[in-house]
Structure 1
Amino acid sequence: MTAGPAATGTWRIPAAGGPDGAEFLAATVTGAGSAPRAVVVIWPALGVKASYYAPFRDQLASRGIASVAVDLRGQGDSRPRAGRGTRHGYHELATRDWPAVIRATRERFGPRTPLYLLGHSIGGQVSVMHTAHDPRGADGIILVAAGSVDHRGFLGADKLRVLASTQFISLVARFWGYWPGHRLGFGGRQPARLMRDWARICRTGRFAPTGSDFDYETGMAQVALPVLAVSVEGDRLAPGRAVDRLCAKLPSATIDRWHFRPEHGGRVDHVRWARSGEGIAERISDWLAQRHTVRDSTL
């Protein structure tokens, strides 16, 4: 890959180790000229490869926003793949992988380029956890189709559906050694510990991952960063109430809440928004422009 922040291509970021000996995190860098307005680190949903966000990354780049889209540990081109020997969960992602990518991105784009975490689904949940653990790591958070999986954030039959499905997935992962989502049609291959952490959030509403002695609930309440939270029309996995429930974990943050409905009746959902994300890219661009116009005027 050619050097410089305008380069576009693949990138291997050495992983910060952990209980399963992760080797590297695979990422795709999409530049936006030699001096981008900002860089966003895109953290995907379960089972979604970084390459899936290519049309959305192009929309951001056309607005002067560079991006680094990362395959989650054990997912996509990151190595090793998740399996029975995999031992990571939410805590390792928040305290090892997120910092490693942020450091590498800061080095690549320079400390003066604003850096935002853009989390989709579980990527948003872990981004919130990371900022609770390290509130100075990023300049802000963008949540897209990212809500709490707490079953209380769903209505009617969906409440029972979410509770039952998360506990079933956790149970299968425990006895199988990992979640074989690539065979069962949801979430891709995932480690059992990660699925147990996920199921615990659904049962209790609390972010208390295995292996952590850090109080994430208290840390989240103290996060004072700007947040853009976007819910998506037709999203059954992170409906507006679930997004609001995740935002409620951040009472000290400045939250801009927006619901995306595509123009001309286009169809989107929890995942497909990334293939037709022009409206979301435009909203992010406007939000960044407002943020940095205000900040620059106070310097």
Structure 2
Amino acid sequence: MQSSSRLFPVALLSAELCGDLSEDIYLLKPRNSPDASVELAVTRLGRADAPGSRGVPVILLHGSFTNRRFWFSPKGIGFGAHLARAGFDVWIPEMRGHGLSPRNSSYRHNRVMDYARYDLPAIAEFVLEQTAQAPHWMGHSLGGVILAAAAGGGYLEQRSAASLTLLGAQVSRIYLPLKFPPLEWGGHLLLSCMPHLSGMRLRRGPEDEPIGVARDALRWHGLFGRFGAGRENWWQGLATVRIPVLAVSAEGDRQDPPAACERLLRQFGSASREHLCLGPKNGFASAFGHVEMLISKAAQRDVWPLLVDWLQRQVAASAHAAEQVERETLC
């Protein structure tokens, strides 16, 4: 397995064994965005007992105010570790300034557009180079929104995304106060006076978030807001996407309610679209919540197997499609 790249500078920060898992951490320097100081940490999880045998690549994107530890703990507990033990080749990037990714020069002004247009394509190309397979993507909360932005903007194509899973992600929930322009303007003014949003102070998580991402949310939910940046309309762009998509929501999620998550899913033009709503109405013992859908004993028992099943079905469908193409070519 390569520890470097022909695409751009890559440093192998560490290669360690964590119990039954191997953990390799890379630092990518894509130099593909206006801010050349951007560096992205990407952790790769695999089975320690099979170092030379890697499965289908899956890229996991964390949400706001968190980092790679959302997906796996230092003790090897979490959905990312579960996927690795199930035989998948797991890659976990950390957004600019999160976790092991250093803060770039223009950190305060980082926007979703920067993640979608520059960072995700660089990560995709690196994983493609290392594995020679189109990765499956899973994003929680803001991670799912970034995936939708990259897909709607045309930055993630079929060759670099075998499937998308959006977990607790939406962009259309209505915040009535923000429909009143003076309040939206006041929000922008308040944010302009802050260096960043503190996850610890807001009791939202261990990481900070750049002001640029927060201002994106204000624009999208304002009176004339739309999911996009500048002249780019990501919402309309989603209608042209053909990548298989799974949206996961939870009845107990007050931040990103099921109806809004399903609305985002329906905007995709993909022939394969599925919505999994977690809660008693669909036979689950728990209503779950925004975080509990992935981090809880109930999720480990009831949700993780369903997500693995989705991935396995997408892998099987891709293999079947490849066989058909090869058969037609031979004929």
Fold match by TM threshold 0.5: yes
Amino acid at match of 1:196: R
SS in 2 for 1:230: strand
What CA distance in whole angstroms lies between the structure 1 residues aligned with 2:179 and 2:67?
A: 26
1:92-111 Cα shifts (integer Å, max 9, x gaps): 11011101111111122x22
Q: Give the structure with higher Rg (CA).
A: 2
Q: 1:250 to 1:85 in 2, by over 3 A?
A: closer
What CA distance in whole angstroms lies between the structure 1 residues aligned with 2:41 and 2:287?
A: 30
Q: TM-score, normalised by structure 1?
A: 0.82
| Aligned equivalent of 1:80, options 103, 112, 115 | 103
Query: Does residue 1:14 correspond to 2:29, yes or no?
Result: yes
Query: Does residue 1:120 correspond to 2:143, yes or no?
Result: no
How far off is 1:226 after superposition? 0.1
1:120-140 Cα shifts (integer Å, max 9, x gaps): 111111111212323232111
1:41-100 Cα shifts (integer Å, max 9, x gaps): 111111011112101112112222221112211222211169x86322111110111011
Matched ranges for 1:1-299 at <5 A: 1-2=14-15, 7-16=22-31, 18-32=33-47, 33=50, 34-54=52-72, 55-80=78-103, 86-108=108-130, 110-111=131-132, 113-132=133-152, 133-134=154-155, 135-136=157-158, 137-148=160-171, 150-152=172-174, 159-160=175-176, 167=184, 170-186=188-204, 188-203=207-222, 204=224, 206-209=226-229, 212-261=230-279, 265=285, 268-276=288-296, 277-278=299-300, 279-298=302-321, 299=323
How far off is 1:171 after superposition? 4.2
What CA distance in whole angstroms lies between the structure 2 residues aligned with 1:77 and 1:93?
A: 16
Equivalent pairs counted in the alignment come to: 284
What CA distance in whole angstroms lies between the structure 2 residues aligned with 1:118 and 1:151?
A: 21
CA RMSD of superposed structures (Å): 3.0
4+ residue stretches of structure 1 with deviation over 6 A? 161-164
How far off is 1:264 after superposition? 8.2
Amino acid at match of 2:111: G
What CA distance in whole angstroms lies between the structure 1 residues aligned with 2:62 and 2:31?
A: 19
How far off is 1:189 after superposition? 2.2
SS in 2 for 1:273: coil
1:161-187 Cα shifts (integer Å, max 9, x gaps): 8879x9576443222243334323346
Amino acid at match of 2:43: T
Q: 1:267 to 1:230 in 2, by over 3 A?
A: closer
What CA distance in whole angstroms lies between the structure 2 residues aligned with 1:185 and 1:162?
A: 23
Q: Is this contact kept in 1: 2:135–2:161, CA < 8 A? A: yes
What CA distance in whole angstroms lies between the structure 1 residues aligned with 2:129 and 2:257?
A: 36
Percent identity over the alignment?
24
Structure 1 runs not aligned, ≥5 long: 153-158
1:11-60 Cα shifts (integer Å, max 9, x gaps): 21224354554431122211154444422111111101111210111211
Q: 1:266 to 1:163 in 2, by over 3 A?
A: farther
Of the two structures, which has the highest relative contact order with CA contacts closer than 8 Å and spacing of 6 or more?
1
SS in 1 for 2:256: coil
How far off is 1:240 after superposition? 0.4
What CA distance in whole angstroms lies between the structure 2 residues aligned with 1:193 and 1:175?
A: 12
Structure 2 runs not aligned, ≥5 long: 1-13, 73-77, 324-331
How far off is 1:291 after superposition? 2.4
What CA distance in whole angstroms lies between the structure 2 residues aligned with 1:174 and 1:253?
A: 42
**Which range is displaced more, 182-191 or 196-205?**
182-191
Q: Is this contact kept in 1: 2:39–2:104, CA < 8 A? A: no
